[in-house]
């Protein structure tokens, strides 16, 4: 388990570590205290992934198309 601050992770980093955490928990070969820590870390990683996905969805939703159907730019997203 990495000590990287979850809030600084990219989506890919968080997803990769989350997959590792889930794998360890599924194997069940981790002591109870470590399992609790892994679960908590996994919850943080899941939240980070959800946040990054929401940001990406909002950016895609704001893409504007020109009259020719090509991306012409973006409109500002309120609150970002």
DSSP one-letter string for 7-23: GG--HHHHHHHHHHHHH
At residue 64, the pLDDT reads 72
Domain-located, residue 39: yes
Domain-located, residue 80: no
CA atoms of 67 and 80, how far apart (whole Å): 27
Query: How many separate domains does the chain show?
Result: 1
Domain hosting residue 19, numbered range: 6-74
At 19-58, the pLDDT tens digits run 999 999 999 999 999 999 999 999 999 999 999 999 998 8
Does the pTM surpass 0.95? The reply is: no
At residue 72, the pLDDT reads 73
Domain-located, residue 18: yes
Cα dihedral 54→51→23→40 (10° resolution): -150
What pLDDT band is residue 76 in, cutting at 50, 70 and 90?
A: low
Q: What percent of the chain has pLDDT over 70?
A: 84
Whole-angstrom Cα Rg for the chain: 18
Q: What is the mean pLDDT of the chain?
A: 87
């Amino acid at each position: 388990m990495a000590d990287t601050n979850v809030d600084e992770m990219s989506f890919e980093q968080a997803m990769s570590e989350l997959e590792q955490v889930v794998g360890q928990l599924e194997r069940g070969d981790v002591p109870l205290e470590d399992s609790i820590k892994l679960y908590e870390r996994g919850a943080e990683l899941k939240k980070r992934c959800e946040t990054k996905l929401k940001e990406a969805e909002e950016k895609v939703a704001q893409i504007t198309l020109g009259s020719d159907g090509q991306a012409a730019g973006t409109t500002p997203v309120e609150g970002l």
